[in-house]
Amino acid sequence: QAADSKREQFRQYLEKSGVLDMLTKVLVALYEEPEKPDSALDFLKHHLGASAPENPELEALRLEVAEMKEKYDAVLDENKKLKNKVKVY
């Protein structure tokens, strides 16, 4: 039971210090990667090693880039459809 107590104290320590949250964020980022990296360990090292406190401006820019990628894909799709229509005429 002493081992369980120490384990729980350690878990609480990791939670309070933000380690669990950071690990979760990095693992979710890896999960959401469309093309998985050759080395998951290198991905984790890169994202954890360069982990400064999140800048809200940086997060906003990341969201904007994601939105722009979606719009770009939609425009490419529309362009392809329009080219096909032009070929018919």
Per residue of the chain (89 residues), give pLDDT as tens: 788 889 999 999 999 998 999 999 999 999 999 999 999 988 888 888 754 556 778 888 888 999 999 999 999 999 999 999 999 88
* In the block, residue with structure tokens 């799709």: 77
d(CA 81, CA 73) in angstroms, rounded, equals 13
Judgement on whether residues 40 and 61 belong to the same structural domain of the protein: no
The predicted structure's pLDDT at residue 62 = 87
Judgement on whether residues 15 and 45 belong to the same structural domain of the protein: yes
Amino acid letter, residue 31 = Y
Judgement on whether residues 46 and 19 belong to the same structural domain of the protein: yes
Range of the domain at 4: 1-52
Q: How many CA atoms lie within 13 A of 30 on its CB side?
A: 18
> What's the pLDDT tens digit per position in 49-64?
754 556 778 888 888 9
Note the pTM of the prediction, 2 decimals.
Answer: 0.48
